[in-house]
Copies of this chain bind each other. A is one copy, B any other.
Amino acid sequence: MIDLSHSIRTGMTVYPGDPGVRCVQSLSLDADGAEVMAVSLGSHSGTHIDAPSHSVEGGRSIDEVALDELVGDALVLHLEDRVGPGTRIDAAMLEAELEQFVAVPRIVLIHTGWDRHFDTDLAFDHPFLDRDAAQALWHRGMRVLGVDTLSPDRTAAEVAGGGAGLGLGKEAAPGVFPVHDVVLGGDGLIVENLRGLEQLGALARVGFFPLPLTGDGAPVRAVAWRPGSDLMR
């Protein structure tokens, strides 16, 4: 199997304003007979899933998402050679990839290669989709959108530079997160901060297994099965 998840580590990059990540030893072999860590993180730390309630009033929470929605064949759009810092992935760029498809699988992953910039400043200046690109996918049947960036929407410089305490309120006027609006607003799901998508072909069997939280989202273990692997073994 292929791991598509970032490790959860103290001080890892999080979306601006989100709770930080901290993993510290709580019990030790010498003093307590067993090692145990205390872990603090946000519901959107590392590789994670956004439930509709993350940004939609009255939307579904992660515990209302069935596991069957999160496992299946995915279309992987490999755009890594066509994007750079801040590239807007528009409908035209996607249509070139999609013209052979009247419909797409329920799960679509956008490979930008931006996971290699995770934990650097460049992580915030990531490629992003515009509303029309999100709608082009949605209208072909996509219901789960996965990206290897902090967000499928642009992460505004004012937000990225602000850090904790700035508050996202002023950035969150309608239309500022158009991809979230299209996908979560349609009761779909978004997976952010995937890694290692270069290991996948154009079609891949994937699974996103959330920490069983109750609320707006959850860190996931994101995996893919190697092509031709016997899933029954």
Contact = CB atoms under 8 A, between A and B. Distances in A.
Contacts of A9: 214
A128 B76 CA distance: 46
A113 interface: no
Interface string A53-77: 1110100000100111001110000
Interface in A20-77: 23, 26-27, 29, 31-44, 46-47, 53-55, 57, 63, 66-68, 71-73
Interface residues of A, number: 67
A208 to B, nearest CB: 9
B168 A33 contact: yes
A26 B68 CA distance: 29
Contacts of A46: 212
A219 interface: yes
A42 B55 contact: no
A84 B214 CA distance: 31
Copies of this chain, tallied across the complex = 2
A39 B41 contact: yes
A215 interface: yes
Contacts of A210: 221
A43 B168 CA distance: 30
A178 interface: no
Contacts of A216: 34-37
Contacts of A221: 209-212, 220-221
Contacts of A186: none
A161 interface: no
A209 B232 contact: no
Contacts of A3: 67, 212
23 contacts: A1-B66, A1-B67, A7-B63, A17-B27, A18-B27, A27-B168, A29-B55, A33-B171, A33-B173, A33-B176, A33-B177, A35-B53, A35-B54, A35-B216, A37-B42, A39-B40, A39-B42, A40-B40, A207-B209, A210-B221, A211-B221, A212-B221, A221-B221
